[in-house]
Structure 1
């Protein structure tokens, strides 16, 4: 088994876990923070914009069962790639959409996929999701991990606006 890592930011990390976790070949999905300038940041620090971090998910996957390309394609369907200032009801730089790449191959795949999405005409506005070099990933506190399983009612309520947008946008 050959493992690889992908890191995606798409608003609140709670809403990013389940869609990836349910795919065959996914070994783990961890909610956390990346891209900032403070070691081992806390949720309270990040949400107050004190660290420069973005909420993200770290995905460890078996690349013989699922490709990085397929993860990027799934990522697009979970976000509004035209909104650089947060996602849905989650606003601010800590919720910005970013594909963090670890190597030239991931960067190539992400950039080509972004260009294809822009050319598709599915969105009236430009695709503004950033593609950035990965930085240190810090796992979030335990109560954030697997939030959708631990708190299904809260998860359903907090993800409703996202789900409504995604259903409308991707069913075109």
Structure 2
């Protein structure tokens, strides 16, 4: 089965005025109910990173965990969690950031990565880039390097992927939606 952008886009749901007026939320959760779409998305990412230099996959809370876990399993790589503040046990570091509709913070366990680790950073969607930029900061604080940031969806009008690329980090996405 090969990747079909039109099929996957047909499965994603667009919710207007959620979580607040003026926002169009791109809901990827229907992909998880559609085995064909789930397989297409997972396989597309797995094929991209099959022979790459990455040593770890870091994924962002929470939908990023689902695809990240599949990739880590199939690529036989360690999975590192980037979670909302207060959700991880043990010693952690955190980074605050701004969302397109508010503020938040993410954290990682201090023993999640080490110097020399080459990390693929994955989230389900790139909007303003705040979450991924905060995760990049945490990964760098732990001495590791973000080799690439990847996502199922990019919202290029919100400039998040551009902000990430301006740090010298390549960005790969399967889909893009114009507008917010």
The structure carrying a bigger helix percent of its residues is 1
TM-score (norm. length: structure 1): 0.31
TM-score (norm. length: structure 2): 0.30
The one of the two structures with greater contact order (alpha-carbon pairs below 8 A, sep at least 6) is 1
